[in-house]
Every structure is written in C-alpha cells, then in structure tokens.
Chain A
Amino acid sequence: AQSVTQLDSQVPVFEEAPVELRCNYSSSVSVYLFWYVQYPNQGLQLLLKYLSGSTLVESINGFEAEFNKSQTSFHLRKPSVHISDTAEYFCAVSMYNNNDMRFGAGTRLTVKP
C-alpha cells in the first residue's frame, strides 16, 4: 500500500517569511497527491492537488506544491506566510482504483508576529 511521510511535525516561522513543508510518499504505481489544511476545531479542507500534467500546482491563497517523481516528493511552499496560515497541514496520497487515501501524520505550522 502507499504511504506518506511528513518530515517535520512542527514548523515555527515568522510572519512574511517563506516556508516549506516537506512530504515524501512511497508507492510502486502512479499516484495522486493532495495537501489538506486543518484549522483548530474544524475538519480538513483541500488546499491543492496533483492528478496529472504540470508538476507545479497552486492554491488560491498563495501556496504551491511541486510533484517530483524521481524524489517521490510533494513539498508545499509559500513565499510569504501570514498569521492566518497557522494551522495543521496534511499530505495525502491515493492510487488509481483504490479508495484508501493515506494521510501523513501532519505538520503544525505556527506563524509568529
């Protein structure tokens, strides 16, 4: 089965600084990759996804992630973070014809003023 490793459990960063949240996956077949965000006391919300095509995908609030097949990675980046980006971020992977989407353990991003 596919699996996901998020390399950092916590990432503290100052406001307006750049940030990278790292995600690696393992799978022997083609995968579909997702980043979800969870704000306190809420469910997860889709941030962005890679299904096929361009390896760089973007969200509406300035995040981007790049699919790197050779390194089996899907790192999430933002050039300048805001206080409101404070949340927990989950990387997820699914495979063709498989309903079992696997999630990483999560990275807690804390943006400090």
Chain B
Amino acid sequence: NAGVTQTPKFRVLKTGQSMTLLCAQDMNHEYMYWYRQDPGMGLRLIHYSVGEGTTAKGEVPDGYNVSRLKKQNFLLGLESAAPSQTSVYFCASSNQGEAYNSPLHFGNGTRLTVT
C-alpha cells in the first residue's frame, strides 16, 4: 500500500524558474494539504483542499498555487521560484469527516533548492 506519494524527491531550480510538485494518495481521503518544513520553524501550511475542485490558503500561501482536479491528486506550483522557497515540502492527507481531529498521513517529502 503506497499511502501518500510525492514526486519528485529532489529538485534544484534557478531563480525565476517554475515547477510543479505532485502528490498522490490512494486512501480515498477527502482532505489534502501542502506543508513546508524549514529548520527551527516546524511545518507551516501552504494550501489545503477539503475535496475535489476546492482549495484554500493556509498560513504561508504567497508564491504558490495549487489545484485538485482529481480527488487523489494535489498539485503544488511555483510560478517564479525564489531562494526563500528553498525548503522541504510535504504533502499530507486525512480522512473524510472531521479533518480537524483526524491524524495526517504524510508523504516522504520533496527537497527543493532554489539558487
């Protein structure tokens, strides 16, 4: 059972380039999330989705866009990468129902470096 799968695992971008991170889950979860993890700051929520076709902003949404065209996929886009977006990005999903008290299932992360 795959759970939450993130691609790619590593990426190096130059400032101003664009890219899309893909998250796929096979647990039929309604809720999906994108977090970034930075040293000393824990995880911060970028965007999330409560169902297919819906997205919402989290704590640090600027510079990112997301789409949830299919229930199992949640894409995170960087239109014009900046060095401040160097981070480890985690996708997570949770069960249908009361997402605020459901544990999150995480992927293994994407390490992004912007030079």
- Residue numbers of A with Cβ under 8 A of B are 4, 6, 9, 32, 34, 36, 41-46, 49, 51, 90, 94-106
Contact = CB atoms under 8 A, between A and B. Distances in A.
A32 B104 CA distance: 13
Contact of A103 (B4, B42, B100, B109): B42
Given A51-B101, A95-B100, A100 B109 contact: no
Interface residues of B, number: 26
B90 to A, nearest CB: 6
B43 A90 contact: yes
Given A99-B48, A99-B50, A100-B59, A9 B101 contact: no
A57 to B, nearest CB: 12
Contacts, number: 62
A92 to B, nearest CB: 8
A43 B42 contact: no
Contacts of B92: 43-44
B106 interface: yes
B103 A46 contact: yes
Contacts of B104: 36, 44, 46, 101
B42 A44 contact: no
B56 interface: yes
B43 A94 contact: no
